[in-house]
Amino acid sequence: MFEEYLPRIMQCRLDDLVLETPVQEMPALSERLGVNITVKREDLQPVFSFKIRGAYAKLKTLTEPQRQRGIICASAGNHAQGVAMAASHLGIDAMVVMPAITPEIKVDAVEKLGAQVVIYGDDFDTACEKALELAGENGRIFIHPYDDPDVITGQATVALELFRQIHVPIDYLFVCVGGGGLAAGMALVSKYLHPGIKLIGVEAEESASMKAAFEAGGPVNLDRVGHFAEGVAVKRCGDLTYQICSQLLDEIITVDNDEICAAVQDVFEDTRAIAEPAGVLAIAGLKRFFLARPGCEGNAAAVLSGANVNFARLRHIAERAAVGEEQEALLGVTIPERPGSFLDFCETIGPRGITEFNYRFSDSPEAHIFVGIALRNGVPEKREIISDLRKRGFPVTDLSNNDMARLHIRHMVGGRAQVDHEQILRFHFPERTGALLQFLRGMKSDWNISLFHYRNYGSEYGRVLMGIQVPDEDADRFTAFLQETGYSFTIEENNPAYDMFLDPRS
């Protein structure tokens, strides 16, 4: 099965542009998990991502007449840089369509490599449609980021190098999955050379298109995808990649954003490399896999696939890593609004490190405190703290895994307001000029904004918490408006973080 790929992979030569990246052991993480862990450092490629392999492999197959026509691709980052560098190396005219949310640093990188950049749309899918349209208009060859046999062949060379470099049997191999090009390529090599290896694909929980395809029996379109790990934010996996992965991957697992952030920290502590969120998916999945199997031993390898991270994102990654590693507890605690109760609360917490502390006087009989507590012993210690607080008569709500609390409430100082007909929503706004203005202009003039919190996380999408006063008779019209905006949103109903700190009825 898939025999036609193997001769092509074995004969693929990319070393006049692509680096044979080193492998590196992860001693600290290995000790914690009880397995020997090695990572393949694809973040050290000239464009800081494995994507250069597939792009160059594809471009090398083009005939001279095809090269004269020029090429075009769509990407918000790594694929674009790979195509641009490969095209420059081969003297091919390149055009790259990038969505408006693409960080300027990535646009500049592509332009410096000599490609013409066209900014279009707010997401990859819209940019891709535009690229295909332009390809049809001017005859350029479209370079797909993952669903192409030659691209898959190029990505497969990662596995060829890995098995040549590691001199012990690999029992487990973890690989990130976006559209599936890298996973498909590595699966073809791994299962041919070492049929007994356990091959595990890892997806971001918010964009698990391959897992959805496995469950549906074929590729399907996700209703929406998260953009925290934007390098794998794919609504639909490839048809070719699904055919290969569904036959050769042993398992697909997903990881959440906090686990991704914790893996960024793990990589830094063992290698001093700063990886991008999508780049550490395989490491995050490896951790989840072995933490669920204490006592499991053997040799594990993972691909560190990219390091194109915006510096502004590191603050947010560091904050979320503490939660992902269970190094911080976020609690909502209710105390009596009377002298001495604040001291009782602090004495109960004891000499632990406080990472966050928000309190505001209330004229009600009770006050709510938002507190972050550094943990040395993870979940058991958090349970002990909650138990101690409750024994002292303080009601406690664990907000450690509450997105509203983690992303917004912890950064807001204020209190409750008497607001009628308030709906609380969380939005993902594209980080481009005019996005909020466009939203506000579409709103009915008598829908009042009663709460607003925005924080820049250095990502392509901004997180906004918004309260809007909508009379009951406007409910249907308001729902239609939300759907027409095209922005991803979540209606927060009965969220304990809102109930404790913002709801005037509490």
Which of 10-19, 184-193, 294-303, 354-363 has the least mean pLDDT? 354-363
Q: Which of 49, 52, 88 is nearest to 70 (CA)?
A: 88
Is 207 in the active site?
A: no
Task: Report the pLDDT value the prediction gives residue 469, as an integer from 0 to 100.
Answer: 86
**CA-to-CA dists, residue 372 to 323, 353, 394, 411, angstroms:** 10, 9, 16, 12
For 5-48+152-321, CATH gives: 3.40.50.1100
3-state secondary structure of 375: coil
Which of 111-115, 242-246, 390-394, 402-406 has the least mean pLDDT? 402-406
Q: Tell me what the mean pLDDT of segment 224-234 comes to.
A: 85
Contact 192, 216 (CB under 8 A): no
Q: Which has the higher per-residue pLDDT, 343 or 144?
A: 144
Which of 255-259, 268-272, 467-471 has the least mean pLDDT? 467-471
- With pLDDT > 70 as the criterion, what percentage of the chain qualifies? 93
Q: Tell me what the mean pLDDT of segment 495-505 comes to.
A: 76
Please give the class, per CATH, of domain 326-401.
alpha beta
Question: How confident is the model over 435-456, as pLDDT tens digits?
Answer: 677 777 777 667 877 777 776 6
Which of 55-59, 66-70, 482-486 has the least mean pLDDT? 482-486
Task: Report the pLDDT value the prediction gives residue 414, as an integer from 0 to 100.
Answer: 61
Looking at the predicted structure, is the pLDDT value of residue 498 above 60?
yes
Q: Cα–Cα distance between 110 and 98 in angstroms, integer? A: 10
Q: Which has the higher per-residue pLDDT, 225 or 459?
A: 225
Domain boundaries along the sequence of the chain: 5-48+152-321, 51-142, 326-401, 416-501
Task: Give the number of residues written for the chain.
Answer: 506
Looking at the predicted structure, is the pLDDT value of residue 429 above 90?
no
Q: Which has the higher per-residue pLDDT, 169 or 443?
A: 169
Task: Report the pLDDT value the prediction gives residue 431, as an integer from 0 to 100.
Answer: 63
Task: Report the pLDDT value the prediction gives residue 161, as an integer from 0 to 100.
Answer: 97
CATH architecture of 416-501: 2-Layer Sandwich (3.30)
Which of 54-68, 111-125, 340-354 has the least mean pLDDT? 340-354
Is 51 in the active site?
A: yes
190 phi and psi angles, rounded to 5 deg: -60, -50
Report residue 415's pLDDT band, with 50, 70 and 90 as the boundaries. Answer: low
Q: Residue 292 contacts by C-beta under 8 Å, 6 or more apart in sequence? A: none
- 469 membership: H or E segment, kind and range: strand 461-469
Q: Tell me what the mean pLDDT of segment 152-173 comes to.
A: 97
Looking at the predicted structure, is the pLDDT value of residue 204 above 80?
yes
Looking at the predicted structure, is the pLDDT value of residue 246 above 60?
yes
Q: What is the pTM of this model?
A: 0.79
Looking at the predicted structure, is the pLDDT value of residue 361 above 60?
no
Domain 5-48+152-321 matches domain 416-501 at the CATH topology level = no
Which of 62-71, 85-94, 266-275, 357-366 has the least mean pLDDT? 357-366
Looking at the predicted structure, is the pLDDT value of residue 259 above 90?
yes
Report residue 231's pLDDT band, with 50, 70 and 90 as the boundaries. Answer: confident
In whole numbers, what is the pLDDT of the chain averaged over residues?
Answer: 88
Which of 28-42, 128-142, 218-232, 415-429 has the least mean pLDDT? 415-429
Looking at the predicted structure, is the pLDDT value of residue 360 above 80?
no
47 phi and psi angles, rounded to 5 deg: -105, 15
Task: Report the pLDDT value the prediction gives residue 137, as an integer from 0 to 100.
Answer: 94
Q: Which has the higher per-residue pLDDT, 52 or 348?
A: 52
CATH number of this structure's domain 51-142, picked from the four choices 2.120.10.30, 3.40.50.300, 3.40.50.1100, 3.20.20.70? 3.40.50.1100
Report residue 18's pLDDT band, with 50, 70 and 90 as the boundaries. Answer: very high
Report residue 457's pLDDT band, with 50, 70 and 90 as the boundaries. Answer: low
Q: Which of 101, 108, 105 is nearest to 125 (CA)?
A: 101
Residue 326 pairs in a beta bridge with none
Q: Which of 190, 209, 246, 305 is catalytic?
A: 305
Looking at the predicted structure, is the pLDDT value of residue 32 above 90?
yes
Q: Cα–Cα distance between 38 and 303 in angstroms, integer? A: 9
Q: Which of 40, 51, 58, 287 is catalytic?
A: 51
